[in-house]
Amino acid sequence: MDTLSHALLGAAIGQCALGRQLGNRALVAGGAVALVPDIDVPIGHLLGDAAALTFHRGITHSLLFAALAALVLGALLARWMPAPGWRRWALVCGGVLASHLTLDAFTSYGIQLLLPFSDHSFALATISVIDPLYTLPLLLALVALPWLARERVARTRLAVAGIALSSLYLGATLATKQWVTGQFKDGLAAQGIEYRRLFVKPTMFNSLLWRAIAETDDGYRVGFHSLLDGESPADFIPFPRNGELLDGHRDAPVVRDLVKVSDGYYQVVEEAGELYFRDLRYGQAFEWLRDDRPHVFTYRLIEDGGRVVDLETLSLAVERERDRATFRALVARAMGRG
C-alpha cells in the first residue's frame, strides 16, 4: 500500500491505544512505526537491482521481523516517552506493524510473511497500491484529530470511525474480487478459451475496473471488467510468453528470481540482440487501449559470456499529456461499456 495510507492507519491506531495519554505524540509515533517495514526500499536501492528484486516485501515484511521490531521500537519509544511503559509500547508497535503487513497482503505484489522459514508470497490482490476510497476516511479523521484536546473522547471516536470505514471498504474488496473472478471465468468460457491459471486484480486508484490475466498453453490472455459493465468480458488480448528465449538461462539465479517474483506470469522479448523480461501481472496496465506504451515492470537481462548475470530495472518515463489522457480513459472505462 502507499506510504500515506500506512502512516494514517498507524497514526489512527496510535490514537486509539495511547491518544488520551499522549495526545498528538501518539499520532506521530504510530505513523512513524507504520513506515518501518518499508526500509526495504532505500536498502534495496543500495543493494542493486537484482538483489532489490527479492528483498522488497521480503524479510522486513515478515512476522518474525514485526515481532522483533516491536520489541526494539517499544524499548526506544519507552526511553522517549516512558509513561506508557515498555510493554505497552511494544504491544502498540506490534499492532501497528501488523497493520502494515495486513494492508500489503491485500495488494497484488505480495509479501513473504513466513521468512526465513518459507519464501511463499501472500497476495490477496483485492486492492490497488493506491486507492483513494480506502485512504479518504483515515485522512479525514487524522486531519481533524490534532485540533482536538487530547482528553476529548471525540479524538478516539474519530480514529475508530476512520479505521472502521477503511476496513469495511477493504473487506468489501474481497467479495468484489470473488464476484469479478466469476465474471472473468464466464467470459473466458464463452470465448472457448482454456486456461491453466487466472490472476485477477483491480486497476490503479479504484476497485471498479478489474484486470485479469489467464495463462494458456501458448501464452496469456488479458481482459478487463468493470462492475458497471452490462455483461461478462468478451475481449481477451493475447500475449505470447516467448519462453524459449530463456533456454540456456533458466539456471541463472537472476532468471529464477524473476520467474518467481512474477509468479510465472511473464513475457520475454528480444530487441537489438538483448533480452527483456516483462512481468505480465501488471503488463502495460491499460492493454485495452492497444497502444505501444511500455510495460509497468520491465527488466533488461545483462549477459556476460553468453550467460545472464544481472538485470537492470527500466523505469517508466513521465509523459504528462499521455498520462492525463490515460487517466481519462481509465475513468471512462471504469464507468462501464454502456
CA distance 145 to 333: 37
By residue range, what is the domain housing residue 127? 3-173
89 and 206 co-located in one domain: no
Q: In 3-state terms, what secondary structure has residue 210?
A: strand
Q: Is the pLDDT of residue 64 over 70?
A: yes
pLDDT digits (tens, 9 = 90+) for 87-116: 999 999 999 999 999 999 999 988 999 999
Same domain, 105 and 205: no
Q: What is the pLDDT of residue 319?
A: 82
Question: Of 143, 173, 203, which one is at a domain's C-terminal end?
Answer: 173
Residues 99 and 196 occupy one common structural domain? no
- Here the cell at position 50 is 537484482
Order of strands across the sheet that contains 197-202: 197-202, 209-215, 219-226, 237-240
Q: CB of 38 within 8 A of CB of 3?
A: yes
DSSP readout, 212-267?
A: EEEE-SSEEEEEEEETT-SS-----EEEE--GGGGTTTTTSHHHHHHHHHTTT-EE
Residue 192 has pLDDT above 60, yes or no: yes
> Over the stretch 227-253, which tens digit does the pLDDT of each residue have?
999 899 999 999 999 999 999 999 999
Q: Would you say 223 and 211 are in contact if contact means Cβ atoms under 8 Å apart?
A: yes
Determine phi and psi for 200, rounding to 5 degrees: -120, 135
Looking at the 3D structure of the chain, how many domains does it have?
2
Residue 86 lies in a domain: yes
One domain, residues 298 and 153: no
- Place 62 in a pLDDT band, splitting at 50, 70 and 90: very high
Rounded Cα gap, residues 210 and 233, in angstroms: 11
209's grid cell: 475496473
pTM for this entry: 0.94
Three-state SS letters, 131-168: CHHHHHHHHHHHHHHHHCCCCCHHHHHHHHHHHHHHHH
- Average pLDDT of the residues of the chain: 94
Do 211 and 328 belong together in one domain? yes
- Report pLDDT for 186: 97
Q: How confident is the model at residue 69 (pLDDT cuts 50, 70, 90)?
A: very high
Q: Which residue has the cell 537472476?
A: 254
121 and 267: one domain? no
- Looking at residue 317, the DSSP 8-state letter turns out to be P
Name the amino acid, one letter, at 14.
G
Q: Which of 173, 200, 217 is the last residue of a domain?
A: 173
Residue 221 forms part of a structural domain: yes
